[in-house]
């Protein structure tokens, strides 16, 4: 299963009132594991940069002036995400900007059922909050010390780690849930809950001969009625 964790930076909060994308960062997961593939681009928004937005991400109008327009990179972005599930924090914000840019170019929008919102997942798992990306990194012991300002790629890398924790930890295969993808709704709209993946081969555990002998001796002292003997009769019979 392929997933793309992504983040955007913008000139403001209102894509339908002239605010534009200035950065997209994205990282690829396959079966909930990072592949090392990423996508990162700065974008010329063709407008000024408000001071409030600059304080958030540090991307100035001068810095962005020689960067490509979104129309020049849109196909690269579409190729990278493919048909993967998309994951973002407060996803309705990021998707609204992506879809506004798509609409300007006549591209079809990304449907909400294709998106997982980690903010929704976090609010369900930690209803008392706080559930900002920084707070979740702190909660899960994820090093966010390099995040001095918001940035599309670094936020995506951190969010990928947070997402894995939210769906069951760094070993999501151990979570006992259905293999089928489910969907539900929240205040922010439809949300897809991705399935966890079962190990294709049962995990093996390295046990030395000495450890096995010590365990068998311990079980032998428990008497014939020991429940454990029902789970290892072949081994006991061979001794």
62-116 pLDDT, tens digit per residue, is 999 999 999 999 999 999 999 999 999 999 999 999 999 999 999 999 999 999 9
Rounded to whole angstroms, the Cα distance separating 120 from 92 reads 11
Report, as residue numbers or ranges, the catalytic residues: 150
Among 12-21, 166-175, 183-192, the range of highest mean pLDDT = 12-21
Rounded to whole angstroms, the Cα distance separating 169 from 171 reads 5
- Which range, of 7-11, 63-67, 151-155, 208-212, averages the lowest pLDDT? 208-212
| pLDDT score recorded for residue 233 | 55
Rounded to whole angstroms, the Cα distance separating 54 from 51 reads 5
Q: Say yes or no to pLDDT of 38 above 70.
A: yes
Rounded to whole angstroms, the Cα distance separating 160 from 34 reads 8
pTM above 0.85, yes or no: no
Average pLDDT on 149-177 reads 77
Which residues belong to CATH 3.30.420.10 in the chain?
2-193
| pLDDT score recorded for residue 145 | 79
Task: Confirm or reject CATH 3.40.225.10 for domain 2-193, answering yes or no.
Answer: no
- State whether residue 138 is helix, strand or coil: helix
């Amino acid at each position: 299963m392929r997933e793309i964790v992504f983040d955007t930076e913008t000139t403001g909060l209102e894509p339908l009132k002239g605010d534009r994308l200035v950065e997209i960062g994205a990282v690829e997961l396959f079966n909930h594991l990072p592949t090392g593939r990423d996508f990162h681009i700065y974008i010329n928004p063709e407008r000024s940069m408000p001071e409030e937005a600059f304080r958030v991400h540090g991307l100035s109008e001068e810095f962005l002036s020689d960067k490509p327009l979104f129309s020049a990179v849109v196909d690269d972005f579409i190729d990278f995400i493919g048909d993967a599930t998309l994951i973002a924090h407060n996803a309705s914000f990021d998707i609204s900007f992506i879809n506004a840019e798509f609409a300007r170019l006549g591209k079809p929008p990304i449907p909400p059922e294709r998106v997982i919102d980690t903010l929704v997942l976090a609010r369900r798992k930690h209803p008392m909050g706080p559930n900002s990306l920084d707070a979740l990194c702190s909660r899960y012991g994820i090093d966010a010390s390099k995040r001095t300002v918001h940035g599309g790629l670094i936020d995506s890398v951190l969010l990928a780690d947070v997402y894995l924790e939210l769906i069951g930890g760094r070993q999501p295969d151990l979570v006992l849930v259905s293999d089928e993808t489910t969907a539900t709704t929240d205040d922010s709209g439809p949300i897809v809950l991705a399935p966890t993946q079962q190990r294709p081969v049962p995990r093996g555990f390295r046990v030395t001969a000495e450890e096995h002998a010590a365990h068998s001796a311990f079980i032998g002292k428990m008497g014939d009625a020991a429940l454990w003997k029902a789970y290892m009769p072949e081994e006991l019979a061979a001794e």
